[in-house]
Chain A
């Protein structure tokens, strides 16, 4: 089934279930949730008392509680969300990493399932589950581009590549490409560690390691890397000597060998 069709099915099922849920107003679990495609998560018990009500609650209970628990206490399929804070929820939802089709996979950036308004509501709900880091306040414009370049080279380039194109880690996992990340998302990833996931590999850079201005600078430089200065021409994917060698042989030498074939005889 294609992604588009699946998403449409999700929305329709969600709409139907959500309406029923809202009408009932009492902690009914969504039965047609999209996440149940392949995984069969352990159903959680009905809570005896529910967290603070809010518009995000309904969405949460419908889509997230299956794996993360109605009170964010976690389950076999998903980590506890109580205490992860608004930053983690915002990062996961706005980059589309959550909802995730298979909990055992590495969360990958995808187009987000929810609208910005829905994301805000969900974030508020998760933030209320327990105290945790808020969404960082980022001001990329006040960052220093040169300082950002230096800090990026020291801390980020080894995993994410010199131009933020991403890189290979061990065991088949990847440090992702940064070109579609917003400033807030970059700051969240820096501050969260593991990018807030159980399997996340990214280290955590707290305020004692990188203060807010330094984060602003890194964000400013990473944003610049989305359109780096390619004054030299075709950038060959910014992958360095590998494509350069390929072009030297397949463009340069090939052209010249063809010229010699034209100039010289074949017999």
Chain B
């Protein structure tokens, strides 16, 4: 009764009944792998909620204070206001530590979810026309997520993150021509400046979340407008969408997922300790601790800095110092490739058709193998970032571990490419069979051999013509199958 009156009240002012009806009935494919992006989105929501709460207590001040809170080992110790405020949140604000830890766990899971989602998009070819714009938005959000994670854990001004800021400053310095200016303008002078925590705060709390919110909005709007992709299957064609309707089913799935994400992140926030800055101590420019690593999503950069050999260019008094190559050039190439990929692939394969049906990974062995190779490369770099810990636990020298990783990083990715390519070609050959049931012979036969049989014809065919819609699939109410003109 009330809802009817409420609906009437809004409709009188907005006239949105038709739109609302089509929205409620909109069909979304509900394969589980299509929800990975939602994990990231809901992590963002939790980040904003917990982050807002933390922002009420955090201070960006760098002037030194003497700590007098309830964590005894730091009583009487000199530290920045920023650090003191985070210790206060952790010990003297009720529920503060859980909020803080939930925030940090959410940040780590956020970027992890984006990466997994990116892999799903990549390996199923969902970035192809007409979705290149969404891919571009997605890669940008990955970049922003990484930046916000780094700025977030650098704000407490503790010894571990301060060391990371020093490295970031040095990386900026290493950029040819403009490096010194970039570092001095960004930080406000020589390292450590008294400005950096405050500047990171503004970026972390205002600029980047606003950009992310806008980009998420655009990302969702594009999915809405272009409609989600789907795997090929019974009744699914390039010109329809099969799945569940937004209301009530998909909405409830999504809200249930949100509750699950909040549960897992909140649970981790209380049960697993993360970033115990009170044990690291306040940042001092002349102190350092070991082991020293950044959060996982920067681990590949850290590993690159460690295993890249001591090469640098110097001529005529000018230098391109060592950190430039692993920490500026490598990520530049990485993200350049990521942004360019849809266009690169379209050019290389000559496929400029629009696609609404997804690939199975075996449909494009080269793409799949290349993606696997890239994952192997970055994963190896990530593990190389913990070479000192590996050395300690395995009781071998750090130098030996470093050299091992150097060799692995330049050899394993190629091996992975070869192996995955073979596997995918074998899967293609075997046709629509479960992967684990494919006979080994299918993988072993050389790549040169022309694909034969059903699988071969299938791989060479154009997309199937649209089959008639069957009775088993219900049409969403209000659906329109014909368009005028």
Binding site for B on A (CB under 8 A): 144-150, 153-154, 157-159, 161-163, 166-168, 170-172, 174, 221, 224, 228-236, 238-242, 244-249, 251-253, 255-257, 259-267
Q: What's the Cα separation between A262 and B105 when bound, in Å?
A: 23
Beyond A233-B271, A260-B32, whether A240 also contacts B293 by CB under 8 A is: yes
In this assembly, does B391 line the interface, its C-beta being within 8 Å of a C-beta of chain A? yes
Given A168-B388, A242-B389, A256-B264 in contact, is the A149-B73 Cβ separation under 8 Å? yes
Contacts of A154 in B (CB 8 A): 284, 286-287
Of the candidates A146, A159, A238, A260, the one whose C-beta lies within 8 Å of that of B77 is A146
Q: Name the contact of A249 in the complex, choosing from B33, B76, B273, B296 (C-beta under 8 A).
A: B296
Interface residues of B (CB under 8 A from A): 30-36, 38-39, 67, 71-78, 90-91, 97, 101, 105, 108-109, 112-113, 116, 159-160, 231, 233, 253, 256-257, 260-261, 264-265, 268, 270-276, 278-281, 284, 286-296, 299, 386, 388-389, 391-392, 395-400
Q: Is the beta-carbon distance between A221 and B73 smaller than 8 angstroms?
A: yes
Q: Which residues of the other chain, A, contact B97 by a CB distance below 8 angstroms?
A: 231-232
Query: Could you list 11 further interchain pairs (A-B, Cβ under 8 angstroms) beyond the known A157-B281, A229-B278?
Result: A167-B290, A170-B399, A232-B276, A233-B271, A235-B276, A242-B296, A244-B274, A260-B33, A260-B35, A260-B38, A262-B32
A256 to B42, CA, bound (A): 11
Given A162-B159, A264-B253, A248:B289 Cβ within 8 A: no
Q: Establish whether residues B76 and A242, one from each chain, have CB atoms under 8 Å apart when the complex forms.
A: no
CA distance A159 to B396 in the complex (A): 16
Q: Known A224-B73, A234-B272; judge A172-B395 contact (CB<8 A).
A: yes
Please tell me if the beta carbons of A228 and B279 are within 8 angstroms of each other in the complex.
yes
Docked-complex contact B101 and A233, CB < 8 angstroms:
yes
28 residue pairs of the A-B complex, CB under 8 angstroms, read A145-B75, A146-B74, A148-B73, A149-B77, A149-B281, A153-B281, A157-B289, A158-B287, A168-B391, A170-B397, A170-B398, A171-B399, A172-B395, A174-B395, A232-B101, A235-B276, A239-B291, A241-B295, A242-B386, A244-B272, A248-B296, A249-B296, A252-B109, A256-B39, A256-B113, A256-B260, A262-B32, A267-B233
Contacts of B260 on A, CB cut-off 8 Å? 256, 259
Interface centre among B67, B113, B276, B391 (most CB of A within 10 A): B276
In the complex with contacts A231-B90, A256-B261, A256-B264, A157-B288 CB distance below 8 A: yes
Does the CB pair A257–B392 fall under 8 Å? no
The 4 closest A-B pairs by CB, nearest first: A245-B296, A264-B32, A232-B273, A248-B108
Taking a contact as CB atoms under 8 Å apart, the answer to whether B296 and A241 are in contact is yes
Cα distance A180–B4 when bound, in Å?
71
Find chain A residues with CB under 8 A from B399 CB.
Answer: 170-171
Q: Which of B116, B274, B388 is in CB contact (< 8 Å) with A253?
A: B116
- Taking the nearest CB of chain A, how far is it from the CB of B400, in angstroms? 8
Given A168-B398, A252-B105, A234:B39 Cβ within 8 A: no
Task: Please indicate the chain B residues that have their CB under 8 angstroms from the CB of A145 in the complex.
Answer: 72-73, 75
Pairwise interchain contact B36-A260, C-beta atoms closer than 8 A: yes
Q: A146-B76, A147-B76, A157-B287 are in contact. Are A232 and B272 (CB under 8 A)?
A: yes
Contacts of B396 in A (CB 8 A): 172
Which residues of the partner chain B approach A245 to less than 8 Å between Cβ atoms? 108, 295-296, 299
If over half of A's interface residues share one DSSP class (helix, strand or loop), that class is named, otherwise mixed; here it is helix
Question: Is B261 a contact partner of A149 (Cβ separation < 8 A)?
Answer: no
| A167 vs B260: C-alpha distance when bound (angstroms) | 38
Chain A residues with CB under 8 A of B76 = 144, 146-147
Contact A252:B279 (CB < 8 A) given known A153-B289, A233-B273, A266-B31: no
Which residue among A147, A172, A239, A246 has the maximum number of chain B CB atoms within 10 Å of its CB? A172
Which residues of B have CB within 8 Å of A266? 31-32
Chain B residue at smallest Cβ distance from A263:
B253
Contact with B294, one of A146, A148, A241, A265 (Cβ below 8 angstroms): A241
For A163, the chain B residues whose CB sits under 8 A away are 279
Checking B78, B91, B286, B293 against A241 with a beta-carbon cut-off of 8 angstroms, the contacting residue is B293
Residue of A149, A154, A234, A245 with highest tally of chain B CB at under 10 A = A245
Give the shortest distance, in Å, between B61 (CB) and chain A (any CB): 20
Across-interface contacts of B296 in A (CB, < 8 A):
241-242, 244-246, 248-249
Closest residue of chain A to B161, judged by CB? Answer: A241
Complex-state Cα separation, A256 to B38, whole angstroms: 11
The complex places the Cα of A170 from the Cα of B391 at a distance, in Å, of 10
Residues of chain A with a CB closer than 8 A to B389's CB? 168, 239, 242
B274 nearest in chain A by CB position: A244
In whole angstroms, what is the CA distance A144 to B108 when docked? 37
Complex interface: chain A residues within 8 A of B91 (CB): 231
Q: Is B31 touching A247 in the complex (CB atoms < 8 A)?
A: no
Closest chain-A Cβ to B252's Cβ sits at a distance in Å of 10
Q: Are B265 and A252 in contact (CB under 8 A)?
A: yes
Q: Assess A252 versus B116: contact at CB under 8 Å? Given A149-B74, A162-B159, A170-B398.
A: no
Closest to A148 in B: B73
Contacts of A229 in B (CB 8 A): 71, 73, 276, 278-279
